[in-house]
Amino acid sequence: MFALKHIKGTLAILSEHAGIDFNQFRTGFLQRKISLFATACNYEDLGTFNEVLIHSKSLADRLIQEIFPSERELFRDADLWNFLHQHLLPDLLFRKHNLQVYFPLLLHNADLCAFLFLLNFKPRPESLKITVSPLFEKIKWDKNAYSFNKKEKKLLEKHAEQLNFTHFDDIFSETDDSLLLQIYFHPNITVEEKLESSDTSLDLVFVRNKLLLLNPYAQQTFLEEIDARLTSGKYLIIGAKEQLSPNMQKTYKSIHPTLHIYQKL
């Protein structure tokens, strides 16, 4: 395994390429990944590898893509994000200009981080605009709600800047040919307040990991409220331990043999 000082040099180069501070991730994990990648590329000396890496964006992108699909702190389900990138996201992005993706706060924040990484590192239209409502600094967290810790909040703010986030109110000033992706997340767990900020149908909904905190009646009510906002052909992603309500089981089909991804009929 290459020396740690050389690994830190690699991380500095990656940070310059991607605009992200890679030192915030676990060094031991990155050290193994970088060592394996450099060895696979036939570089026995990491100093030489870094000299090539600093001038090669394509090599840096390959290494970044090697790192993140296996980073369990961000990608809790690498297969899900691979499937989302290869199939669902291209279909949704290029089928319409105004894509709405809904992240209830019951979702694990790692999923939101992973989705932002996915948009950042994978090919996407240059005119894509990403809107978050409400802005980070205007959120007033409910004391009983699952909230972002300081590290997560800092990470999300960094990607908000990297991905050209705009305020929800600014969407009407965009040109007609610009693309818009609206990512909703809200500070409390009431269904009404979560959904009232959007008066149009949703395209892709994530409800994972935290849904089980609700009692069975509240969980079913929440899912059925989500169901009312999804039109035919749109997608719902739930956690492995969560289930669709009996009514929803009749109107959704599974589109993956192992992942819990459903399409509304």
Q: What is the pLDDT of residues 78-102, one digit of tens each?
A: 677 777 777 777 777 666 555 666 6
Residue 252 pLDDT: 94
Tokens linked to 133: 């409502």
**19-78 pLDDT, tens per residue?**
666 665 556 667 777 888 888 888 888 888 888 988 888 888 888 777 654 444 444 566
Domains and CATH numbers, the chain: 4-70 (no CATH), 78-264 (3.40.50)
**Mapping DSSP to helix (H, G, I), strand (E, B) and coil, where does residue 215 land?**
coil
Distance between alpha carbon 179 and the CA centroid of its chain, in Å? 18
Residues 6+ apart with CB under 8 A from 5: none
Q: pLDDT of 2-31, one tens digit each?
A: 667 778 888 888 877 766 666 655 566 677
Report pLDDT for 248: 87
Burial 206-215 (b: 16+ CB within 10 A, else e): bbbbbbeebe
Residue 140 burial (CB count, 10 A): 7
Q: How far apart are CA 46 and CA 214, in angstroms?
A: 50
78: its two tokens: 């690498």
Measured CA to CA, the distance from residue 42 to residue 48 in angstroms comes to 11
CA distance linking residue 160 with residue 130, whole number of Å: 8
Please give the pLDDT value at position 82.
73
